[in-house]
Structure 1
């Protein structure tokens, strides 16, 4: 049996509580390499936006630098060899790879997870549910609360989170809570090209019809027949009226719930962990003179200027990303 080559890696400025061994890119790399986790990776260094750690260098030759953020950020004030972010394209050209947050939550390593390909691509069944619609958020935004109020005037919407809670204590198990409802209000925090986070895939997996507001790329990342795309409507009133119409039709609900999750019932290759790691491996095997690893070896500084002012917000954001990326390791099949 051929032994796997050793790879020295390190992680810098990731979210609080980040565990590199459960990170989706790490898990795929471990299929191909014996990873050694160092304070300063000799071969490969990953960076994110949740800190301002200065990273030492090793003389003239340096490791491959890979930047990752699933949120609406772009790297600044540092130079990287590969960038994984939400934007569909960038001036970095081939060094920029669109990596939406939802793709980081696909569990390629455990078939019992509801986020595994075997579950996501399986035939989807429709089960009637008495509860109408849920709204689960911890951060208040005006457009989300406006639609919650508007739809709630037509039919009761349960707010099971901390914002506008009307059911008592906030839910502890979001997946279980969402699984009890016909619909889920699934609005992103912001509208940005390519930004499709976990808010769409979570209710789809729970077989609750998402009422989704976000980037238009959602309609090509996923099967557009499996959710209601809010931006297809002229107004929130039109959207709310449509949701009520669908709720009153078992046939319409069944058609949405049983539609394949992805176009042609296949997870797009460009959003697989193996594809992302293939790009990293290719970059690792490319001579520095070809990949143009810029000679910024003396000082590395924080990616996001003003981190001290935005620290609490970034920390909350990071915890949310961390929960999404890591939860597949412990979520049972439902």
Structure 2
């Protein structure tokens, strides 16, 4: 088996576990400061620039376009029409696709375990970027208390250490992304699913391409927040309707979607490492900058339209 020296830096560490698993099929991997492959993300310190003569693979944590002036390949949210990119959403990084597959009769025990209304765990309280999430939290709280266990809007007296365990007794979990962007789905939705709660979701307008939309409540499908909240109240009060959500598989056909397939990532990385090196794009920063500008403007634009 070939040896491979790698480095995770500038936030690329977040995808370390799943990347190492994919590489382990073909390489004896060592981590250190003399890498042949660097996995990096968006940390402003940009320490990856110190590593010049190596293959660079960008890992998108936020909703960003890869800067192909700085990297050779990318792992991210966007389904780009280039062989340089592999769509690998954050929600796959914990590699728990099999745990999202529902057992035939598990719903019976799940129903019995749900004796609380709704949970919420977030740390990002940026009012400009996450105003939608904050607003909905307060609106839904007018119906019933939402137990918030994160560092932001905490009302349980402490920051929860085990998010999944915290979620277990709740019927619903508020799983809003920071912003509304197509294909951008983080771990928030999957964490609620792993605890067998009904996610109350908002964010990725194309979420139904990845998950069965009958297994969660998508606030984006309603005319406004008030209509969504009226429906949540209905599901909360109607046991048969709630059971219907609990019985629905998270995936179409109750099988993990393609993005959980480790062979897919293995083949992509093998091609990147063994194939000819891509020429870095001189103007590769332009799509990155344009998307960055859009992200900065979007919260203010959405506030005007609401």
**In which range does the TM-score fall when normalised by the shorter chain?**
0.7 to 0.9
Partner of 1:138: 123
Q: How many residues align?
A: 274
Of 66, 74, 90 in structure 1, the residue corresponding to residue 57 of structure 2 is 66
Q: Decide whether the 8 Å contact of 1:69 with 1:84 is kept in 2.
A: yes
Residue 32, structure 1, aligned to residue 32, structure 2: no
Unaligned runs of 5+ in 1: 107-114, 297-303, 306-334
Partner of 1:203: 192
Inter-CA distance 38–130: structure 2 relative to 1 (3 Å threshold): closer
**SS of equivalent to 1:192:** coil
CA shift, 1:122, in A, is 3.7
CA shift, 1:155, in A, is 2.2
Residue 81, structure 1, aligned to residue 72, structure 2: yes
CA shift, 1:19, in A, is 8.0
CA shift, 1:187, in A, is 0.4
Unaligned runs of 5+ in 2: 283-287, 290-306
- Could you tell me the TM-score, scaled by structure 1's length? 0.75
Partner of 2:297: none
Q: Decide whether the 8 Å contact of 2:180 with 2:205 is kept in 1.
A: no
Structure 1 runs (4+) greater than 3 angstroms displaced: 75-79, 292-296
Counterpart Cα distance in 2 of 1:252 and 1:237? 19
Residue 45, structure 1, aligned to residue 38, structure 2: yes
Counterpart Cα distance in 2 of 1:251 and 1:238? 20
Using CA pairs under 8 Å that are at least 6 residues apart, name the structure with larger relative contact order, 1 or 2: 1
Partner of 1:229: 218
Counterpart Cα distance in 2 of 1:39 and 1:295? 26
Q: Decide whether the 8 Å contact of 2:23 with 2:269 is kept in 1.
A: no
Deviations 1:198-218 (A, max 9, x none): 110011110111000011232
**Per residue, is there more helix in 1 or in 2?**
2
Counterpart Cα distance in 2 of 1:212 and 1:277? 30
Counterpart Cα distance in 2 of 1:227 and 1:5? 44
Counterpart Cα distance in 2 of 1:278 and 1:94? 12
Deviations 1:53-95 (A, max 9, x none): 233444xxxx3321112211223373322111112326xx221
CA shift, 1:30, in A, is 1.3
Partner of 1:127: 111
CA shift, 1:186, in A, is 0.8
- Could you tell me the TM-score, scaled by structure 2's length? 0.81
